[in-house]
Chain A
Amino acid sequence: MRWLILCLCLTAMPVLAVEPDEMLADPRLEARAQVLDEKIRCVKCRSEVIASSNADWASDARVIVRELILDGASDQEVLDFFVARYGEYVLMTPQATGSTLFLWLAGPIMLMLGGGLAAVYIRRRATTKPATEWVLSEAEEARLKQIMDD
Chain B
Amino acid sequence: MITELGHFSLVLAFFIACFQAVVPLVGAHRRLPGWMAVAEPAATLQFILTATSFAALTYAFLYSDFSLRLVTLNSHTAKPLLYKITGVWGNHEGSMLLWVLIVTLFGAMVAWFGGNLPPGLRARVLSVQAMIGAAFFAFILFTSNPFLRMPVPPFDGQDLNPLLQDPGLAFHPPFLYLGYVGLSMTFSFAVAALIEGRVDAAWGRWVRPYTLAAWIFLTIGIGLGSWWAYYELGWGGFWFWDPVENASFMPWLIAAALLHSSVVVEKRESLKSWTILLAIIAFGFSMVGAFITRSGVITSVHAFASDPERGVFLLGILAMFMLGGLTLFAARSGVMQAKGVFGLVSRESFLVINNILLCVAAFVVFVGTIWPLVAELFFDRKLSVGPPFFNLAFTPFMVALGLVLPVGAMLPWKRARLGRVIKSLRWAFILAVAIGCLAWAMQSGRSALGPVGLFLAAWLVAGSAVDLWGRTGRGNDRFARLTRLPRADWGKAVAHGGFGITIAGVAAMMAWEAEDIRVLQLGESAELAGYTITLDGVRDVQGPNFLSTTGDVTLSRAGEFISTMHPEKRIYPVAGMPTTEAALDNGILRDVYVAIGDPQDGGGWAVRSYYKPLANWIWGGAILMALGGALSLTDRRYRVAAGARKAPATGVPAE
- A interface, CB within 8 angstroms of B: 3, 6-7, 10-11, 13-21, 23, 38-39, 41, 45-49, 52, 87-95, 98-100, 103-104, 106-107, 110-111, 114-115, 118, 121-123, 125-126, 128-130, 133
Contacts and interface: CB of A to CB of B under 8 A. Distances in A.
A49 B367 contact: no
Contacts of B371: 94, 100, 103
A107 B388 contact: no
Given A38-B388, A114-B359, A106 B364 contact: yes
**In this complex, which of B385, B392, B595 has the most chain A Cβ atoms within 10 angstroms of its Cβ?**
B385
Nearest to B597: A16
B252 interface: no
A128 B71 CA distance: 63
Contact of A7 (B356, B361, B576, B597): B576
B384 A23 contact: no
B577 interface: yes
Given A98-B379, A107-B360, A125-B348, A14 B233 contact: yes
Given A16-B235, A98-B379, A46 B363 contact: no
Q: Using C-beta atoms within 8 Å of the partner chain, give the interface range for chain B.
A: 35 or more
B608 A41 contact: no
Interface stretch (B40-48, B176-184, B335-343, B488-496): B335-343
Given A93-B389, A121-B352, A122-B349, A46 B299 contact: yes
B424 interface: no
Contacts of B433: none
Contacts of B562: none
9 contacts: A11-B578, A20-B519, A47-B299, A49-B386, A49-B387, A106-B363, A107-B363, A115-B356, A118-B352
Contacts of A41: 384, 386
B517 A23 contact: yes
Contacts of A115: 356
B620 interface: no
Contacts of B240: 47
B320 interface: no
A110 B352 contact: no
Contacts of A13: 163, 233, 301-302
A47 B375 contact: no
Given A15-B234, A99-B381, A10 B163 contact: yes
A123 B344 contact: yes
B518 A3 contact: no
Given A107-B393, A118-B353, A47 B606 contact: no
Given A13-B163, A14-B233, A114-B359, A89 B383 contact: yes
Given A17-B234, A91-B384, 10 more contacts: A3-B158, A14-B232, A15-B597, A20-B517, A46-B299, A90-B384, A92-B387, A93-B388, A107-B360, A115-B356
Contacts of B497: none
A130 B340 CA distance: 8
B388 A47 contact: no
B237 A107 contact: no
Contacts of A121: 352
A36 to B, nearest CB: 12
Given A6-B304, A94-B371, A20 B518 contact: yes
Given A7-B576, A41-B386, A100-B383, A122 B73 contact: no
Contacts of A95: 383
Contacts of A10: 161, 163, 301-302, 577
Interface in B20-79: 73
Given A10-B301, A15-B234, A114 B73 contact: no
Contact of B234 (A14, A39, A48): A14
A18 B517 contact: yes
B300 interface: yes
Contact of B578 (A15, A47, A49, A128): A15
B375 A100 contact: yes
B579 A104 contact: no
A102 to B, nearest CB: 8
Contacts of A125: 270, 338, 340-342, 348
Nearest to B386: A92
Contacts of B339: 130, 133
A20 B606 contact: yes
A126 B73 contact: no
Q: Which 6 A-B pairs have the closest CB atoms?
A: A92-B386, A93-B388, A107-B364, A99-B379, A114-B356, A106-B367
Given A20-B606, A23-B517, A103 B385 contact: yes
Nearest to B602: A21
B297 interface: no
Interface in B322-354: 338-344, 348-349, 352-353
B600 interface: yes
B221 interface: no
Contacts of A106: 363-364, 367
Contacts of B361: 107
Given A7-B161, A16-B608, A52-B233, A47 B300 contact: yes
